Amino acid sequence: MRLASLLLLIALFVGTCFAEKAEIITREGDVMEVEITQYNPVGIKYMLRKAEYSLPYTDIYMIYTKSQGNRYVNSEGQLISGEGTKASTANDVVYLVNGGEKAVVIKSVLPNEIVFQLTPEDKKALENTAKQMQKGKIPREERVIAAAEQADDDKVFLRDHVFMIIHKGGVTEIITPLPPVGSEAQAEQSQTAPKEEAEPILELKYHRVEKGQTLDTISQMYDVTPADIIEWNDLPQSTKASAQLPIGTQLIIYVAVE
């Protein structure tokens, strides 16, 4: 009896350990807080209100767990990795047709596009990283185009690239219904939707100004612009690109790594 009781306790303990809290978004746009008890080749099993259910991957848009982050179901019905963390519901969250989420501030939903602004958190992060780059404290970093982002300017998503929006406050709005996994429409949608291009990685270099060198000649050496050098080194904005620089001045230059 004691052995049987011990085996039962072990089984209960192992079962609890393998259960994982998750947020699931279905392809119908339903958002569920569940406890996943099993992953299998074709889908998952989960507990909801003390009852166990099965859900095939073909019915799932996204699964979020603390250990795995966001995972999306591709056009073949397979789980693929996405963001490592969940977007904050303190802002509007946009979910893209091909997987991916972004927390933004929605301004308007128009017939062909969705107009939004970066969240205050994104703006602050861009500005802080740009400052660190200017001071040379980030020797190797993805290019942060804080100036080019022009944080106050409006941005847009093309409407047919957006699956749904969960608005601040929890209201869910389906923008583009998803076709069945494996269908021709799904495959075509995957091919036509633009993929985000990775920003180039920058390598920090130091340049010692030699006799006769100007911002123009130095920028040509490293394939950057005079404005970049001015920004990275806190030089006066009035510095002319053709003006000779003091000999021996050490400049910070960020060069794109191929």
pLDDT digits (tens, 9 = 90+) for 113-169: 998 887 777 777 666 666 666 665 554 444 444 443 444 567 888 999 999 999 988
Task: Tell me what pLDDT residue 189 has.
Answer: 64
pLDDT of residue 147: 40
d(Cα 12, Cα 149) in Å, to the nearest integer? 53
Q: How much is the pLDDT for 72?
A: 92
Say how many CA atoms lie within 13 Å of 157 toward its Cβ. 31
Q: How confident is the model at residue 186 (pLDDT cuts 50, 70, 90)?
A: low
Confidence of residue 239 (pLDDT cuts 50, 70, 90): confident
Query: What domains sit in the chain, N to C, each tagged with a CATH number?
Result: 2-81 (2.30.30), 92-118+144-192 (no CATH), 201-257 (3.10.350.10)
% of the chain exceeding 70 in pLDDT: 72
Of the candidate ranges 134-143, 215-224, 225-234, 249-258, the one whose mean pLDDT is the lowest: 134-143
The percentage of the chain sitting over the pLDDT mark of 90, rounded to a whole number, equals: 23
* pTM score: 0.59
* HEC assignment per residue over 196-250: CCCCCEEEEEEEECCCCCEHHHHHHHHCCCHHHHHHHCCCCCCCCCCCECCCCCE
Pick from 3-7, 82-86, 121-125, 230-234: least confident: 3-7
